[in-house]
Structure 1
Amino acid sequence: MRFLRPLLMLVGLAPVTSSADSREIYVLLSGGPSLLRLEDPLEGAASASAAGGGIGVTAYYGLTDELHLGASVGIQGASNVTYAGTRVTLPSGSRPLGDLQQDLLGLSFGLVAHYRYDTGAAWAPFAQLELGGQYRRHHHLVHLVSNTELGAAFPDVSKVSPAAGLQLGLEYRFRNWLTTSVGLGVTTNPADLGQVEFRVPITVGIIFG
C-alpha cells in the first residue's frame, strides 16, 4: 500500500497524515443493510429473522483528540417479516396454526460516545457506544391459517423500548474536513436480548473545527 501514498499526495486527494482535534464538531449521515431478529408483536411466542435497512444522522463534539460525545437519530425498516408456524388468538377465541406476516418501521434515538484512536494518519479505527431508546411500529399484520385460504388482519402494534448499541469500524479523513467510515454494529434491547439488529453502516460526514 506504500505506493499509493505518493500518488494520493500528487493528485491532492488526501494528506499523508491527518489527526483528530479536540473541539471539532462532526455531522454524519449513515446508511446500510441490517439483519434483524424479532419477536412476534402479538404474543411474543415466535421469532423471525429478516433483512432490513436504515439511515441515520449523528452529531458529536470532540472533548479530546480521541473522545467525542454527541447524539444520534435514525429510521429503520423491514418488509414481509414472516413468523412461520405461529398460533395467535383470533376474535373467535380459536388459535389456528399459520404464518404471521408484518412490515416494520422503527425510529431510534440515543446518546453517543465515539472513541477514535488517533494514529496520526488519515486512517484510524474507532469504537462507538450508543445508549437510548427505540420506537417500533409493527404494521400490516396478517395471520394466514395453514392449509387454507383464510386469514385475519390485526391492528398495528407500537412499542417503545430501551436500546444499546456498539459499533466498530475504520474511518478515513480527507484534508481534515470530510470523513467517511465503514463498520459493523449491533443493537439490542437490554430488557429483551432476543431482539437484536446487526448493521453494516457506511458513513460520510463533515468536520467543523
Structure 2
Amino acid sequence: MSAEQLAATDAVLYSHLHYDHFSHASIRQLGSSPTYYLPLGMANYMPKGGYTLVEKAWYSQSQRGELAVHLVPAHHFNSRKLFNDDNRALWGGWLLEHNGKTLFFAGDTGYSQHFKDIQQKYGDIDICLLPVASYHHDTDGDWYRYVHTTPEDALVAAQDLNCKVMIPWGYGNASWQIGDISSHSPLLRLLHMQQQLDSQVPLLILNEGDIVSL
C-alpha cells in the first residue's frame, strides 16, 4: 500500500497476536489516526503512542457509522513468544455488516463447529474471506491442520457459512510467505478440491494487491 493509502486508513482489524498478522512495524506505519479493533486482551501488546483501541469479546458488536463490526470465534490460539503459549489475549475472525450485506474474515483458524455457529447467528454470508495456505508442516502436519484450514477445509467451511462468494487468501510471493513450498500450491489444491468435492460456492481468485467491487 502507498503512503497515501495508509494515511487514509480509518480503521484496522487484527485477528490475533502472531507475528505474521500483528506487527509493530506495520502499526507504526499506520500511525495513531485509525481506530484499532482488537480481540479482548490484545491492547496490552500494542506499542505506546496514543492509539485509539476498541477491544472485543466473541460475538460482541461495535457500531461505526452504518457499519456493524462483530468479533467472532476462530479455532486457533495466541502467543508472542516461542514455546510460551499463555493465551492471555483472545483471538478471532471479524464479521462486518453494512446495509444488510455481510463480509466475513476468518482470521487464522482450523475447521470446527464455529463456522456453522456463525451462520446460525448471522445468517448466510455474502462474502467469505477464508485462509487456504498455512496447513503444511513437515514435522507436525496434524497439529497444523488443527489450527489452520486446508483448501478442502475452507471449501467445507464456505458451505457451512452458505457463502455467496468465497475469496481465498494466504497464498502468493509478495506478502504471504507461509504454507507449502510453492507459494501458489494451496491455490492449485483449492481448485482441484473444488472439483473433487463438487463445491457449489463460487470462488473469486485475486492476486496480491487486486481490488474488486462486489
Q: Shorter-chain TM-score: which interval? A: under 0.3
Q: Provide TM-score, normalisation by structure 1.
A: 0.22
Structure number with the higher strand fraction is 1
Q: Which has the higher helix share?
A: 2
With a CA cutoff of 8 Å and minimum separation of 6, indicate the structure with the bigger relative contact order. 1
Decide which structure has the larger Cα Rg and report it. Answer: 1
TM-score, normalised relative to structure 2: 0.22
